[in-house]
């Protein structure tokens, strides 16, 4: 009896989760799909053809989204990793305050910060620039990276490094051969999700990029409330691709390392 | 020797400095400028004095109260529904059964999916000519789109809440699941041998142990939904809309004199968010005890 | 005050048989130890008795009533775990009163009985403390009180003293023993420590790999172990092969007389004498075997001798100021009443 209800639960949950995604796959291949048809009356690749054409600017947006997210991720690692390590493994005066301060950016509404920064950027001539967009993305990304990596470092044993040092390894070699492999799984997941945070940014890019820097979400946005569902679906599927990839790589860690979930509002 | 000592001393500040610099400089810079504008300081259009009248205007504006109510209502119901769905899911998924790995995987799928993608998916399902309406039509429950209830661009923000529900329930659920797993089944087994039945075990043993996690996660979700703008911007009515969207709309208005009130709303939003943050930390501290 | 009978009890996990056809009868008010190396099935059996695990085959019977269809919460078999598992959100008093609370007993009565219990476990006045405020030993006592207060049919203890340090352990053993005897509660406890089993139990059930080896009073495991493996588990590794005829055993280097042949048939046997019973002599005598001293280990209060006997290593005990040293040839006198015969098999190590 219990088993039956469990099956009902699994089916319902699967439908609820997969329906919004599957419907988009169908829409992207639909040429004519009107009410009340349950499947497209006419299939067609025109949405995809449009999306891959120059007119849609999807290519340009894809390159922008990808490169910005990559740069932001790398910067987040470079900046966040040492900070996370210091926070997790060392004790120093003012630590609590600094922890707070470093995490505030994710807790204060993005609207607020972005608008204020926009004004500052205008003056600094960073508005409408690639660099400006990268910087604004760093605001939600760095704290997230710090959050997850602090948790990863907390369960890390420095005794491993001490052993390596006493065996004659230099600081750099110790990092490469001992520290990095040990934190790698957590780092990988944190990086993937930091990438996704930047990838999913919409209003921040819109404001700071001023419409000059085009990213995928900016192209997708107007289509969602428009009437061209097929094109919206195609763009949406391209947009969701990295997220699905991340899912495949990280699903087993999500249950083990709950701090990873810490950023999830921000996508 | 002295040099090494210096290096040691500098190590920690050096490790923290870059993060600090980027975040604090960028962030507080923006905050300060925003604050300044909210107080009426906008030299670019000739306002050189600090004043509180923008705040007064905003707070006494009847639209403000409506907006506040809408924002609160959407955040509250989304959080409540997400929590109500998440807990039973976590309780079912904590045991290993045939298909539980698959189910847990499916449960996690929403986590990395961008909100905009979710929004489109939900729209494709619940608009009046969407898939759900068509399914109902195919079993004869309705004959034209107009008969399907309006869920997008509606005052109640049904589609908006569905999006948040889809995204946030798994988030809350996974955190609760992690807590359930770390708590283990021993306490409940013990209670069983002392004579407690199913319901008693849940109410007196399990619930107190997972309550802090549920509470703190709910607060995070509430704060997030409260402050978000993309989904209400996309799927909500033009008026009354949520506070963040309203602030954003005012900000984008070509009439620059609307900027100060936009920033005033933003600052008020920030204050409310920080209050949530403080509540969260209080709850978290209590939980750790 | 309940009798517990395990009948043909089996439990499989996939291909592994954790408990293999276990048959046991535990008398009312008796304290039984399930003893054995880790993985031998003792905790699994305990959980089946509690109802937390269902048997793959066989039955658990309380007072002639089968428990197969009775859920845990109705069995009255209370469990005390290795970890105290005191509910963290409740006070000591609330913890102890939990079982009564679940049964709907009135608050006043609960308070009275909680007070009684706290006296019994020697923690008077601890009602309002919280679990994390008291020491490990105190926590375990509260856990015990929590189980005893509902006057269970059977008290089950899963290595309850393993997490306590040595002094506390002794104290707790005494406490458990005295309470159990006073309340005449049928109790089963699981342990891997033979000293503990010997000290606390009326009878010990020794399990290896899910199979019951011997179910006897503690003394029997020392004086009359049923197999070589059992003897080894109780720290006796002195064995010799020989040929038995009547009450005479012929070994390679000697002939011995046995007072009690334990009903063994004539033929190949293994004989064993506990280290404590071996008498070291400088000259041969009746019932003695020649040996060469391999090593002498000073143990403070006594000396341990490692001896080569017919190619085997034997242990014996001598006074602290032993007159011998490594390389000496000695004779070991094996008193006829202390020699015990075991079945010899190809798998014997001797």
Per-residue model confidence as pLDDT tens digits over B260-275 = 888 888 888 888 877 8
Say if the Cβ atoms of B197 and C146 lie within 8 Å. no
Cis status of the peptide bond prior to B240, with omega within 30 of 0: yes
Residue at A10 is within a domain: no
Say if the Cβ atoms of B192 and C83 lie within 8 Å. no
Residue at A46 is within a domain: no
Say if the Cβ atoms of B191 and C50 lie within 8 Å. no
Q: Mind telling me how many Å the CA of A36 is from chain B's nearest CA?
A: 5
pLDDT surpassing 80 at residue A106: no
Residue at A202 is within a domain: yes
Domain boundary among C203, C223, C243: C223
Residue at C350 is within a domain: no
Domain around C87: 4-223
Pair of tokens at residue B125:
């399902």
**Model's pTM, two decimal places?**
0.81
User: According to the model, what pLDDT value does residue A266 have?
Assistant: 43
Residue at C230 is within a domain: no
C216 with C273, same domain: the answer is: no
Residue B48 contacts C where some CB pair is shorter than 8 Å: no
Q: Which of B22-36, B234-248, C61-75 has the lowest mean pLDDT?
A: B22-36
* A264 — pLDDT class (breaks 50, 70, 90): very low
Mean model confidence pLDDT for chain C: 90
Mean pLDDT of C80-95: 89
Which chain C residues are within 8 Å of B192, Cβ to Cβ? 51-52, 72-73
Q: Which of B69-73, B237-241, C86-90, C318-322 has the lowest mean pLDDT?
A: B237-241
**Bigger pLDDT: A11 vs B33:** A11
Q: Which long-range contacts (CB under 8 A, 24 or more apart) does C261-266 make?
A: C261/C341, C262/C224, C262/C340, C262/C341, C264/C341, C264/C342, C264/C343
**Bigger pLDDT: A78 vs A92:** A78
Q: Running DSSP on this structure, what letter comes out for residue A229?
A: H
Q: What is the CATH number of the domain that holds A149?
A: 1.10.3720.10
Domain boundary among C195, C223, C251: C223
Residue at C214 is within a domain: yes
User: According to the model, what pLDDT value does residue C349 have?
Assistant: 63
Residue at A162 is within a domain: yes
What is the percent of chain C where pLDDT is above 70? Answer: 99
Q: Which of A13, A20, A149 to mutate to test the interface with B (most CBs of B within 10 A)?
A: A20
Domain around A104: 66-216+240-266
B58-67 b/e with 16+ CB inside 10 Å = b? beeeeebeeb
Mean pLDDT of A36-58: 85
User: According to the model, what pLDDT value does residue B140 have?
Assistant: 81
Q: What is the CATH number of the domain that holds C101?
A: 3.40.50.300
pLDDT digits (tens, 9 = 90+) for C209-240: 999 999 999 999 999 999 999 999 999 999 99
CATH 1.10.3720.10 fits B53-288, yes or no: yes
Task: Pick the residue from chain A with its C-alpha nearest to B248.
Answer: A111
Domain boundary among C223, C258, C283: C223
Instruction: Say if residues B171 and B221 touch (Cβ distance below 8 Å).
Output: yes
What is the count of structural domains for chain A?
1
Q: Which of helix, strand or coil describes residue B279?
A: helix
What is the count of structural domains for chain C?
2
Q: What is the CATH number of the domain that holds C316?
A: 2.40.50.140
Say if the Cβ atoms of C98 and B204 lie within 8 Å. yes
Instruction: Provide the terminal-to-terminal Cα distance of chain A, rounded to the nearest Å.
Output: 39
Task: Pick the residue from chain A with its C-alpha nearest to B132.
Answer: A38
Count Cβ atoms below 10 Å from residue B6 Cβ, excluding itself. 10
Alpha-carbon gap, residue C131 to B279, rounded angstroms: 26
Residue B253 contacts C where some CB pair is shorter than 8 Å: no
Residue with tokens 């605001």: A139
pLDDT surpassing 50 at residue A267: no
C284 with C316, same domain: the answer is: yes
The residues spanned by each domain of chain B are 1-38, 53-288
User: According to the model, what pLDDT value does residue A261 have?
Assistant: 61
pLDDT digits (tens, 9 = 90+) for B171-182: 999 989 988 988
Mean pLDDT of A105-131: 81
Q: Mind telling me how many Å the CA of B190 is from chain A's nearest CA?
A: 23
Count Cβ atoms below 10 Å from residue B284 Cβ, excluding itself. 14
User: According to the model, what pLDDT value does residue A73 have?
Assistant: 96
C247 with C284, same domain: the answer is: yes
Q: Which of B173, B285, B159, B287 is nearest to B233 (CA)?
A: B159
What is this model's ipTM? 0.86
- For A:81-140, CB contacts with B below 8 A are 82-83, 85-87, 90, 92, 98, 101-102, 104-105, 107-120, 135-136, 138-139
User: According to the model, what pLDDT value does residue A265 have?
Assistant: 42
C150 with C285, same domain: the answer is: no
pLDDT surpassing 50 at residue C30: yes
User: According to the model, what pLDDT value does residue C348 have?
Assistant: 64
């Amino acid at each position: 009896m219990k088993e039956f209800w469990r099956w009902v639960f699994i089916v319902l949950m699967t439908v609820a989760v997969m329906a919004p995604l599957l419907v988009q796959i169908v829409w992207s291949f639909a040429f004519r799909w009107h009410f009340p048809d349950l499947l497209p009356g006419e299939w067609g690749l025109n949405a995809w053809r449009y999306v891959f054409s120059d007119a849609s600017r999807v290519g340009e947006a894809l390159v922008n989204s990808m490169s910005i997210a990559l740069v932001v991720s790398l910067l987040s690692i470079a900046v966040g990793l040492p900070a996370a390590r210091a926070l997790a493994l060392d004790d120093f005066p003012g630590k609590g305050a600094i922890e707070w301060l470093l995490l505030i950016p994710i807790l204060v509404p993005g609207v607020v910060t972005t608008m204020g920064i926009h004004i500052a950027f205008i003056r600094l001539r960073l508005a409408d620039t690639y660099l400006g967009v990268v910087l604004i993305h760093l605001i939600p990304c760095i704290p997230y990276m710090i959050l997850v990596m602090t948790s990863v470092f907390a369960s890390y044993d420095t005794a491993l490094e001490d052993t390596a040092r006493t065996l004659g390894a230099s600081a750099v070699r110790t990092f490469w051969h001992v520290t990095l492999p040990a934190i790698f799984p957590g780092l990988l997941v944190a990086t993937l999700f930091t990438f996704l945070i930047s990838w999913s940014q919409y209003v921040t890019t819109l404001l700071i990029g001023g419409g000059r820097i085009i990213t995928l979400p900016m192209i997708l946005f107007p289509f969602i409330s428009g009437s061209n569902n097929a094109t919206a679906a195609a763009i949406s599927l391209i947009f969701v691709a990295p997220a699905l990839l991340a899912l495949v790589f990280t699903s087993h860690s999500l249950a083990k390392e709950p701090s990873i979930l810490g950023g999830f509002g921000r996508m | 020797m002295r040099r090494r000592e210096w290096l040691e001393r500098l190590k920690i500040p050096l490790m923290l400095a870059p993060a600090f610099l980027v975040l604090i400089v960028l962030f507080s810079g923006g905050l300060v400028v925003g604050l300044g504008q909210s107080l009426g300081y906008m030299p670019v259009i000739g306002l050189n004095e600090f004043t509180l009248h923008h705040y007064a205007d905003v707070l006494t504006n009847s639209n403000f109260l409506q907006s506040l109510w809408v924002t609160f209502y959407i955040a509250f119901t989304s959080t409540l529904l997400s929590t109500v769905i998440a807990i039973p899911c976590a309780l079912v998924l904590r045991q290993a059964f045939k298909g539980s790995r698959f189910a847990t995987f499916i449960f996690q799928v929403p986590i990395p999916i961008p909100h905009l993608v979710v929004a489109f998916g939900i729209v494709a399902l619940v608009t009046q000519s969407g898939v759900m309406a068509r399914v109902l039509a195919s079993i004869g429950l309705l004959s034209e789109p107009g008969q399907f209830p309006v869920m997008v661009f509606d005052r109640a923000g049904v589609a908006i809440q569905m999006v948040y529900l889809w995204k946030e329930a798994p988030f809350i659920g996974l955190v609760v699941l992690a807590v359930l797993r770390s708590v283990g089944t021993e306490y409940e087994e013990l209670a069983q041998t002392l004579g407690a039945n199913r319901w008693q075990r849940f109410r007196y043993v399990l619930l107190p142990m997972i309550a802090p996690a549920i509470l703190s996660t709910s607060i995070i979700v509430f704060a997030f939904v409260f402050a978000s703008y993309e989904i209400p911007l996309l799927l909500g009515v033009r008026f009354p809309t949520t506070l963040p969207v309203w602030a954003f709309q005012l900000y984008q208005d070509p009439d620059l004199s609307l900027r100060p009130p936009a920033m005033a709303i933003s600052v008020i939003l920030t204050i409310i968010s920080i209050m949530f943050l403080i509540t969260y930390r209080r709850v978290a501290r209590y939980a750790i005890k | 005050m309940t009798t517990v009978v395990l009948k043909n009890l089996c439990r499989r996990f996939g291909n592994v048989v954790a408990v293999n056809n276990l048959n046991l009868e535990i008398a009312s008010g008796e304290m039984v130890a399930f003893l054995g190396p880790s993985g031998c099935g003792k905790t699994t059996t305990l959980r089946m008795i509690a109802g937390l695990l269902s048997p793959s085959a066989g039955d658990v019977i309380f007072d002639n009533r089968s428990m197969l269809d009775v859920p845990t919460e109705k069995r009255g078999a209370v469990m005390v775990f290795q970890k105290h598992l005191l509910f963290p959100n409740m006070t000591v008093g609330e913890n102890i009163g939990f079982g009564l609370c679940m049964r709907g007993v009135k608050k006043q009565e609960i308070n009275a009985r909680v007070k009684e219990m706290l006296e019994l476990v020697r923690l008077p006045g601890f009602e309002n403390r919280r679990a994390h405020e008291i020491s490990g030993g105190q926590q375990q006592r509260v856990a015990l009180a929590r189980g005893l207060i509902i006057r269970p049919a059977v008290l089950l203890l899963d290595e309850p003293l393993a997490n306590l340090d040595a002094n506390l352990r002794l104290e707790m053993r005494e406490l458990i023993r005295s309470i159990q005897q006073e309340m005449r509660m049928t109790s089963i406890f699981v342990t891997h420590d033979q000293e503990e089993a010997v000290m606390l139990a009326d009878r010990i059930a020794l399990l290896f790999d899910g199979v019951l080896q011997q179910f006897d009073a503690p003394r029997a495991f020392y004086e009359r172990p049923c197999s070589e493996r059992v003897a080894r588990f109780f720290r006796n590794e002195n064995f010799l092969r020989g040929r038995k005829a009547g009450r005479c055993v012929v070994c390679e280097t000697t002939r011995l007389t046995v007072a009690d042949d334990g009903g063994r048939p004539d033929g190949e046997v293994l004989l064993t004498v506990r280290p404590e019973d071996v008498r070291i002599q400088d000259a041969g005598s009746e019932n003695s075997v020649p040996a060469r001293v391999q090593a002498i280990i000073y143990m403070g209060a006594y000396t341990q001798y490692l001896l080569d006997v017919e190619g085997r290593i034997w242990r014996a005990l001598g006074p602290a100021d032993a007159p011998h040293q490594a390389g000496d040839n000695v004779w070991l006198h094996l008193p006829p009443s202390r020699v015990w015969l075991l079945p010899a098999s190809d798998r014997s190590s001797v």
